[in-house]
Homo-oligomer: A and B are copies of this chain.
Amino acid sequence: MTGTGELVRLGRRTAKGVAGYDLAALLVGSEGTLGVITEVTVRLRPTRAPERTVAGYFDSIVDAGRAVDAVAAAGITPSALELIDRQCLLAVDAWKDMGLSVDANVVLLGRIDTPGSLGDDEAATMRTAFDKSGASWSAQSSDQAEADALFAARRLAYPALERLGPVLTEDICVPIRAVPEMLSRIESIATQWDTRIANIAHAGDGNLHPLLIAPHDDDAARQRAQAAFDDIIDAALNLGGTVSGEHGIGLLKMGGLVKELPPAVLDMPHNIKRALDPTNILNPGKVFSRTI
């Protein structure tokens, strides 16, 4: 539904198509500012081949970041490469007692969906990358139940942390080469602002989710957490990254968006917004801090 009340269908039913501008791509991620999406049709793909899981334990988060860079440098594109840090492991254990924090400070979970012996080779290469980057332990899981349990711990990390207090969720994304440096800067920022920062990450994409615990009942701590949040954004931009890898801008990252995009680039979405929603009725006041 457009800003002028027209019901339109965008996108295409064909595998390829270049008839005019890619309006579906423009609407995806526009956060309701260019139209109200009332119906979505998705393309189905064949089921993936069974995946291999490789786990690595690390003493330091920067070593785990180096392993992520080493995997990318080896030319492998994992179907998943997730990072869970000590704060998250402790929170999961405090809630579900999975015993992970006994053995590991930081866990990397990699998945390879390349089929056949090439997939075996890639899994072995990933494990080597983990070991060479200082893993204290690594293994390719031969047991699907075990592999699923590790990924379950990953999924539990966020709700486990929320039990500890209000969480300010970051969503930065940096070039993969910059992952170790970014993780190191997050550690420094946590120390500098005396703020508890846990990390979960879609590390293989360079998409990091530092989670800042900002207690309700402590105004000074909340302000320090906000300062740390802003510093993390500055560090990500400084390393060639973005303020949002997947969550979007909303209200929380409106300031970050202005830092990321130069004024001439910001003019373009502003002008598009004005063209497609002339009366500014579509999610007004979000994404763009400047008045449309």
Contact, CB under 8 Å: A16 / B49:
no
Contact, CB under 8 Å: B16 / A26:
no
| Choice from B257, B274, B275 contacting A20 with Cβ under 8 Å | B257
Contact, CB under 8 Å: A205 / B16:
yes
| Choice from B26, B247, B249 contacting A22 with Cβ under 8 Å | B26
A244 contacts which chain B residues (CB < 8 A)? Answer: 17-19
- Which of A96-104, A184-192, A258-266 lies at the binding interface? A258-266
A8-B76 Cα distance, complex, nearest whole Å: 32
Contact, CB under 8 Å: A248 / B18:
yes
Contact, CB under 8 Å: A242 / B12:
yes
Interface size (A, Cβ < 8 Å)?
A: 75
A18 contacts which chain B residues (CB < 8 A)? Answer: 29, 242, 244-249
- Which of A84-92, A153-161, A172-180, A212-220 lies at the binding interface? A172-180
Closest B residue to A268 using CB positions: B23
Contact, CB under 8 Å: B117 / A23:
no
Contact, CB under 8 Å: A20 / B276:
no
| Choice from B8, B49, B205, B267 contacting A268 with Cβ under 8 Å | B8
Contact, CB under 8 Å: A265 / B8:
yes
A191-B116 Cα distance, complex, nearest whole Å: 49
